[in-house]
Amino acid sequence: MQAGGELTLTARVNPTPRLLLACVALAATPLLRAHEAATEMVAAAQTFLGTLDAGQRKLATYAMTDAERENWNFVPIERQGLPFKKMSTEQQALGLALLRTGASHTGMARAQAIMAMELVLKELEKGAARRDPTLYFVTIFGEPSTEKSWGWRVEGHHLAFNFTVVDGKHVFFTPSFMGANPGEVRAGPRHGERLLGEEEDLGLAMINSLDDAQRKIAIFAPDALKEIVTTNKKRVEPLAPAGIAMAQLQPAQRDRLTALLKLYLARYRPELAEEIFAKVTAAGLDRVTFAWAGGLDRSKQTYYRIQCPTLLIEFDNSQGNGNHIHTAIRDFKGDFGHDLLAEHYARDHPQK
């Protein structure tokens, strides 16, 4: 693609993999050294930055301490950063290559399909200019380094990947967001496509696997929430206790809930997903809760969340008469690497 042209995207093939494949990939991928992802991110970011002219670099780069680093969102608004629209074909490929250092094959396919979904919305909205698959932005915070802290972001409508690398080796990938509007394409050449259909189907399978007594515990509201609770907040705390705990489930139900949790983590490269799941396990799988609001089938508006001591996953399908999905992953201590960065600054940059 030339600058200002159309970004090459995977658009017509439903990228959603079978849960089995996602979980097998998550479990079977050999564990890599903890710093390998960080090292690849540095190389990809440096290569990308090396192709930018002065004007592009000014758009694409911010100081690590700039407030823009935590100014994230998932709605179609004016954004900061360098859009794919203002990149050459080579630069676009390098921007996607950077995203590939943090996302899994599954995550990349979904991210590119979300970008391409803007073309469906553009048709539905009679050519609205804001619906543009090249209006996704790459932003670098700080200087990519194998020793220092820095961060990067790929963001646009219904897509937000925020990566923070602390001390050149500790990688954090939240807050993170994926959405799909429409949740199911109901007309046109992409009819039947459901970008986040697996998250919806497995959530419904989970709530419907519960018996009546369990369901009374799991369902905390008769109607779906109108949006994910955490929205685009910079910091989140654990939400009010709700739902059924893993300890209250039967073995098959526990496996189902664990698989649903891993499905979300499978958006990221395996060693990052494994590291986060290890933290969830260390904090106690029995303390993981599944909470539901809304109807019990796809004809109804639905909301659910999986809350762990360290992590929160939210799914909402209430807008568009239940055909507009939002999903988010938040880490209570790891969003933007906040806690570890705070320790770093306190240790290495004490206030005078």
Q: What share of the chain in percent tops pLDDT 90?
A: 84
- 140 and 75 within one domain: yes
pLDDT tens-digit readout, 58-105: 999 999 999 999 999 999 999 999 999 999 999 999 999 999 999 999
Query: Which domain does 273 fall in, by range?
Result: 197-337
Residue 351 has pLDDT above 60, yes or no: no
pLDDT of residue 231: 97
Q: pLDDT band at residue 340, thresholds of 50, 70 and 90?
A: confident
- 240 and 207 within one domain: yes
Mean per-residue pLDDT for 113-135?
94
Mean per-residue pLDDT for 191-209?
97
pLDDT of residue 346: 64
pLDDT of residue 23: 46
Mean per-residue pLDDT for 7-26?
47
SS (H, E, C) the chain: CCCCCCCCCCCCCCCCCCHHHHHHHHHHCCCCCCCHHHHHHHHHHHHHHHCCCHHHHHHHEECCCCHHHHCCCCCCCCCCCEEHHHCCHHHHHHHHHHHHCCECHHHHHHHHHHHHHHHHHHHHCCCCCCCCCCCCEEEEECCCCCCCCEEEEEEECCEEEEEEEECCCEEECCCEEEEECCCCCCCCCCCCCCCCHHHHHHHHHHHHCCCHHHHHHHEEECCCCCCCCCCCCCCCCCCCCCCEEHHHCCHHHHHHHHHHHHHHHCCECHHHHHHHHHHHHHHHHHHCEEEEEECCCCCCCEEEEEECCCEEEEEEECHHHHCCEEEEEEECCCHHHHHHHHHHHHHHCCCC
Residue 130 lies in a domain: yes
Mean per-residue pLDDT for 319-331?
97
User: Between 340 and 347, where is the model more confident?
Assistant: 340
pLDDT tens-digit readout, 236-257: 999 999 999 999 999 999 999 9
pLDDT of residue 8: 56
Q: What share of the chain in percent tops pLDDT 70?
A: 88
Residue 12 lies in a domain: no
pLDDT of residue 213: 98
> What's the number of domains the chain is made of?
2
pLDDT of residue 339: 84
pLDDT tens-digit readout, 260-269: 999 999 999 9
- 202 and 175 within one domain: no
- 225 and 329 within one domain: yes
- 27 and 90 within one domain: yes
Residue 10 lies in a domain: no
User: Could you tell me the pTM of the whole model?
Assistant: 0.89
pLDDT of residue 12: 42
- 168 and 53 within one domain: yes
- 207 and 168 within one domain: no
User: 129, 152, 186 — which closes off a domain?
Assistant: 186
What's the CA gap between 76 and 168, in Å, rounded? 32
- Across 255-274, b (16+ Cβ under 10 Å) vs e yields ebbbbbbbbbbbbbbbbbbb
Q: pLDDT band at residue 3, thresholds of 50, 70 and 90?
A: very low
Q: pLDDT band at residue 30, thresholds of 50, 70 and 90?
A: very low
- 228 and 103 within one domain: no
Residue 14 has pLDDT above 90, yes or no: no
Residue 201 has pLDDT above 80, yes or no: yes
pLDDT tens-digit readout, 284-313: 999 999 999 999 999 999 999 999 999 999
